[in-house]
Amino acid sequence: MRRVLVLGENAVDVKIRLDDLILSDDENHIPEETSINFGGTGINFSFALKVLSETPVYFTPISLDAFGKSIRQFLEQNNIYYFDYSSEKPTPVVVSIISKDKRITIANIKGTAYVDITFNVFLNANLHYDYVYVSGGLLTERNPQIESFKIIKHIKEMGRAIFFDPQVRIGKDLPGFIETCEEIIPLSDIVLANEKEISVFGKDLLENFLERGGVLVVKRGKEGAKLITNVREHEVKGVSLKSVNVVGAGDVFNAAFIKSFINTNRLNESLEFANEFATRYVEKGFS
C-alpha cells in the first residue's frame, strides 16, 4: 500500500449557510444550515484520501486542547495514521459563511498549534512514506515557513515526489507567505491550485517550473479543471449542479487526483477522475 505523507493544518471548521449575506444590525439571522466538523486542509485531504482507500500519514502538530483531543479521536476512528505531535497552542477555528453566490471565511489561525512544526521533530520521527502532499495553509507565520521549507527540501533530496497546493486564499496577505510558496514550487513535481491563486505567481516562475518537467493542475470549480505541462494541455469540463459541500471540495479534488496518479501514472486520467469525484462530493458528500 502506497503511503502519502501529509503536511497540512488541522482545524475546527464551522459552516453557516444563509439565504443571502445582506445582514442588518440588531437582527437575529437564522441560518438554513449549520455544521461543525474537524477539518483544515491537512485533515480534509487525509480523510478524503482514506475514503479513497489510500494510506495518509499525517504529520503536523495537534493542540492539547479539547478540540485537539477530538481531532485525534477523529483520526483514530477513521484509521488515519498520525504522528503524535502535540502543541500547547490552541486549535485553529475557521468559520465559513456561505450563501448562493458568496463565501466569507473568518479564520482564527494566528499563534495556533500547527505553527509549532519543526524540521528536527520531522527528522527524528522516522516516518515511512512514498509520496508527499503539502498544503500551503501551513505557511501563515515565519516559523512554519522556515521549518516547512526545510522539511520539503529534505524530502526533495530524498527523491520523493511532492504534490503542492499553495492555498493562496489562506495566507496571500501574510508576511512571507507568497515568497515561501515561490520557494516551494520549484521543489514540487505537481502543483494544484485554482486560477485565481495561480495568477498571484510570476510568469517566469511558472514557466521555469514547467520547463523542468513540473505539472500544473488548475482547479476551475464549476468550469472543470485543466492540466498544463511544458508540451501540452488537457481540459475537462465541469458540471452545473447545486453546490452543497463547498468547504473542502478543493482538498477532495487533490486527494482524488493524487490517488489516481500514484496508481496509474496517467495525468489525463487522473484529472478526469478528480473532476468527477469532486463534483460528486460537492453534490452529495461522501455518501
The predicted pLDDT at position 249 comes to 87
Tell me: pLDDT of 35 over 60: yes
DSSP 17-60: E-S-----TT-----SEEEEEEESHHHHHHHHHHHTT-EEEE-S
Q: Span 202-226, mean pLDDT? A: 95
Predicted local confidence at residue 206, as pLDDT: 97
Higher pLDDT: 155 or 98? It is 155
The confidence band for 241, taking pLDDT boundaries of 50, 70 and 90, is: low
Instruction: Give me the helix-helix angle, 142-157 and 177-184, nearest 10°.
Output: 0
For 117-160, the pLDDT digits (tens) are: 999 999 999 999 999 999 999 999 999 999 999 999 999 999 99
Grid cell, residue 143, equals 516559523
Is the CB of residue 212 less than 8 Å from the CB of residue 186? Answer: yes
Determine whether domain 3-20+32-284 maps to CATH 3.40.50.2000.
no
Please report the pLDDT score of residue 243 as a whole number.
53
Categorize the per-residue pLDDT at 245 as very low, low, confident or very high, splitting at 50, 70 and 90.
low
* 8-state DSSP, 236: E
Q: Please name the residue that has the C-alpha cell 504529520.
A: 59
Q: In whole angstroms, what is the distance from residue 232 CA to residue 215 CA?
A: 10
Walk across the sheet containing 190-194 and list its strands.
Answer: 81-82, 55-58, 3-7, 131-135, 161-165, 190-194, 215-219, 224-228, 233-237
pLDDT tops 90 at residue 55 = yes
Residue listed under C-alpha cell 488548475: 218
Domain boundaries, the chain: 3-20+32-284
pTM across the whole model: 0.92
pLDDT at res. 65: 97
How many angstroms separate the CA atoms of 175 and 169, rounded?
14
pLDDT band of 17, cuts 50, 70, 90: confident
> How confident is the model at residue 66, as a pLDDT?
97
**Lowest-pLDDT choice from 71-80, 85-94, 236-245, 272-281:** 236-245
Cα gap 211→27, rounded to integer Å: 56
CA separation for the pair 89, 106 (Å, rounded): 19
| φ/ψ of residue 156, rounded to 5 | -60, -40
- For position 25, what pLDDT does the model report? 72
Q: How far apart are CA 8 and CA 137, in angstroms?
A: 6
Output the pLDDT for position 262.
98
**Mean pLDDT computed over 212-234:** 95
Confidence bin at 247 (pLDDT 50/70/90): low
In terms of Cα–Cα distance, which of 36, 172, 167 is closest to 91? 36
Mean model confidence pLDDT for the chain: 92
Q: Determine the 3-state secondary structure of 235 from DSSP.
A: strand
Given this model, what pLDDT does residue 280 score?
86
